[in-house]
């Protein structure tokens, strides 16, 4: 979440460390699956070869293709602020999450974004199997 400083928003730096939620139970007062989904909303969960990413309409299948795409993004510095996030357990014991927020890449203006992803518990670790990302750009021209 952004920090307030004299009425202005300050965007914290993104960390490059992947986080995993493990097992069932609770973290604090929240179910562990909520904590896992919230962590993945900030830093993507690990992926597997069956994972799929749709980035601005382009589809990438498999861990190697996804890592290559994310590594090739043209910015050097990224900051983000999550405005809202919703998480739901699915009938097949996965977690579906939707995140809305703002990001700032390098010196570009702040832009809105939407992200939806599916987490699956594999060998007691939450893995991102499906991920869809779009910038919230509007053309009123």
Summarised one tens digit per residue, pLDDT across range 25-78 is 433 444 455 555 555 554 555 678 889 999 999 999 998 898 888 888 888 888
Residue 28, pLDDT score: 42
- Name the band, by pLDDT with cuts 50, 70 and 90, for residue 23: very low
Residue 10 lies in a domain: no
Number of domains in the chain: 1
Residue 8, pLDDT score: 34
pTM (predicted TM-score): 0.66
Residue 56 lies in a domain: yes
* Phi, psi values for residue 36, rounded to 5°: -65, -45
Beta strands 47-55 and 125-135, pairing class: parallel
Q: Do 33 and 58 touch, CB atoms closer than 8 A?
A: no
Residue 105, pLDDT score: 87
If one compares 41 and 79, the residue with the highest pLDDT of the two is 79
With 70 as the cut, is the pLDDT of residue 1 above it? no
Residue 8 lies in a domain: no
Instruction: Report how far Cα 89 is from the mean position of its chain's Cα atoms.
Output: 17
Residue 59 lies in a domain: yes
Q: Do 48 and 66 touch, CB atoms closer than 8 A?
A: no
Q: Mean of the per-residue pLDDT values for the chain? A: 74
Structure tokens of 81?
Answer: 């602020």
Q: Which domain holds residue 38?
A: 20-135
Residue 140, pLDDT score: 66
- Residue 107 belongs to domain with CATH number: 3.10.450.50
Residue 40, pLDDT score: 52
Residue 56, pLDDT score: 92
Which residues, in sequence order, are CB contacts of 140 under 8 Å at separation 6+? Answer: none
């Amino acid at each position: 979440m952004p920090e307030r400083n004299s009425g202005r928003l300050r965007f914290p730096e993104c960390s490059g460390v992947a986080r995993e939620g493990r097992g069932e139970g609770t973290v604090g007062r929240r179910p562990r699956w909520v904590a896992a989904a919230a962590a993945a909303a900030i830093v993507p969960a690990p992926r597997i070869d069956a994972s799929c990413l749709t980035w601005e309409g382009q589809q990438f299948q498999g861990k190697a293709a996804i890592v290559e795409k994310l590594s090739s993004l043209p910015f050097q510095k990224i900051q983000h602020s999550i405005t809202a996030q919703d998480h739901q357990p699915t009938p097949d014991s996965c977690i579906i999450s939707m995140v809305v927020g703002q990001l700032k890449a390098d010196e570009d203006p702040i832009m809105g974004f939407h992200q939806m992803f599916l987490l699956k518990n594999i060998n007691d670790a939450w893995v991102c199997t499906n991920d869809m990302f779009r910038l919230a750009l509007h053309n009123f021209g």
